[in-house]
Amino acid sequence: MSRRQLYILGGVLLVFVLIEALVPKPLNWRATYSQRDKNPYGAYALAQLLPDFLKEGAPHIRPVTLYELDSMPTPLNQLVLAGFFEPGTEDVEVLLRRVQAGDHAFLAAEHWNELLQDTLGFSYTYDFQFNPLGEQAADSMYLWFTQKGLPKEKYRYPATALASSFDSLPAGAITLALNNKLNPVLAAIPWGKGTIYLSSTPLAYTNYFLMQPQTRGFAEAALSYLPEQTPFWTEYYHLGRMESPSPLRFVLSEPALRWAYYLGMGVLLGFILFTLRRRQRPIPVVEPPANTSLQFAHTVARLYYGQQDHLNLAHKRIAYFMEELRERYQMPAGQPDTAWQKRLAHKSGHTLEEVHQLFAYINRVQQQAALSAQDLMNLNEKLDYFTRR
């Protein structure tokens, strides 16, 4: 490729990079409820405004479970913002125990698991405003507070953003806000020294509605119920643990250990690169071991042929034949009597007469004092025929 072609290719790539960088990215309307996200349904604005709402310092924001708050000092303002709030049994136990001791919990979610509903004694409904037949449906939802000392105005939201509300609340619960269907959307449940606040409108606390003057007041007034206590916001129930699953997460979380780890890995990588440049020693050629089985068989055969001890070889051939019968047909060791021969005939497929004749011939060979080469060959043929059939 010529230099001119390289310049053209580089220019084309540069144009593509500039176009990709300058094209505005579409808004992400997915509800993340994360204090890091500035998308419409993130919670970056809430994290920045929460100290003003609660008259306290910056909130502690961590992706931990409510169970992990058990070791922290009391009292706290617990804050949960999620689409689905599904705490476990241990989480609920710690939540109630801490609220009993003086914590206040502000739980905002569209969906709640049965464990929490049964424990606190409430239920909810989710009425998504979608009509496939095209009938006219309400495009707005209004929220307003019911208690004295709070704003009297009605806050207007898109109906699709506030589809969840409470069907029923436990005895002693206080309804703090309603929607235009007169269903509670914010309620307080006194519990020991503290209070559990349930909100079915988590989207009302996201960036989009906190930045709108006509809706910001609802979130500010709702959170004003919390006392001036240290706020602790857990993002675990919507975002998960949000930490590396690597076993090195503790090492990487500490600056000194992290730099030591990176330095060690760099030294190791440099050592490997320099070591690869050393001269490689030649690999010796290892010859495979020679197969001498055939040579051994020839040697043994020549030995027997030279001695002409046919009877000894016949006895060895018969012993090998008996061992082959025991392995192939699982015949028991012992003398081949009538019952033994019947069993062999049944397993081998030979007739009982053939088995009797073969073993009668074997007995004659074993009783002879000498054996000719022809008799040895006849014996070998009979034994081979029996096993091959």
Q: What is the mean pLDDT of residues 364-389?
A: 84
Is 13 contained in some domain? no
Final residue in a domain of this structure, among 206, 239, 272: 239
Residue among 163, 157, 159 nearest 139 (CA): 159
Contact yes or no for 91/67 (Cβ under 8 A): yes
Residue 65 lies in a domain: yes
First to last CA, the chain: 74
CATH number, domain of 162, equals 3.40.50
**How many structural domains comprise the chain?**
2
Burial class (CB in 10 A: 0-12, 13-18, 19+), 23: exposed
Same domain, yes or no: 220 and 308: no
Q: What angle do CA 24, 212, 127 make, to 5 degrees?
A: 95
Q: Is the pLDDT score of 374 beyond 60?
A: yes
Q: Any idea which residue has 């992400």 for tokens?
A: 28
Which pLDDT does position 276 carry in this prediction?
Answer: 62
Higher pLDDT, 159 or 290: 159
Question: Do 355 and 235 lie in a common domain?
Answer: no
43-56 pLDDT, tens digit per residue, is: 999 988 888 877 76
CA distance 126 to 110: 8
Give a yes or no: residue 154 inside a domain. Answer: yes
In a domain, 173, yes or no: yes
* Amino acid letter for position 70: D
Query: 176, 211, 239 — which closes off a domain?
Result: 239
Last residue of a domain, one of 217, 239, 261: 239
And the tokens for 201? 């409108």
**DSSP sequence for 92-115:** HHHHHHHHHHT-EEEEEEEEE-HH
Query: Quick count: other Cβ atoms within 10 Å of Cβ 278?
Result: 7
> Which tokens hold the place of 125?
């409904």
Q: Is there a single domain that holds both residue 197 and residue 303?
A: no
Q: State phi, psi for 199 to the nearest 5 degrees.
A: -125, 130
Residue 372 inside a domain? The answer is yes
Same domain flag for 170 and 312 = no
Residue 81 belongs to some domain of the structure: yes
Residue 78 and residue 223 in one domain: yes
pLDDT reported for residue 373: 82
Q: Is the separation of the CB atoms in 219 and 210 below 8 Å?
A: yes
Residue 309 sits in the same domain as residue 195: no
Residue 144 included in any domain = yes
Strand order through the sheet with 76-85: 60-62, 230-234, 76-85, 104-112, 194-199, 184-191, 174-179, 140-145, 155-158
Between residues 304 and 329, the one the model is more confident about: 329
Q: Are residues 54 and 162 in the same domain?
A: yes
The two tokens of residue 65 are 């479970």
CA 266-272-278 angle, to 5 degrees, is 145
> In Å, what is the CA distance from 68 to each residue of 89, 93, 113, 251?
13, 11, 20, 21
State pTM to two decimals: 0.58
- Domain extent, residue 381, equals 294-388
Q: Could you give phi then psi for residue 106, rounded to 5 degrees?
A: -110, 105
Q: Quick one: 193 and 333 in the same domain?
A: no
**In this structure, are 227 and 298 located in the same domain?**
no
pLDDT at 249: 58
Same domain, 232 and 363: no
- 163 and 26 within one domain: yes
Q: How confident is the model at residue 305 (pLDDT cuts 50, 70, 90)?
A: low
Instruction: Give me the torsion for CA of 242, 247, 248, 251, rounded to 10°.
Output: 90
Q: Please check whether residue 4 lies inside any domain of the structure.
A: no
pLDDT tens for 208-232 read: 999 999 999 999 999 999 998 888 9
123-179, pLDDT tens digit by residue? 999 986 544 334 444 578 899 999 988 888 999 998 888 889 999 999 999 999 999
157: three-class secondary structure by DSSP: strand
* Per-residue model confidence as pLDDT tens digits over 55-106: 766 678 777 888 888 888 888 999 999 999 999 999 999 999 999 999 999 9
Pair 72, 210 in one domain: yes
pLDDT at 191 over 70: yes
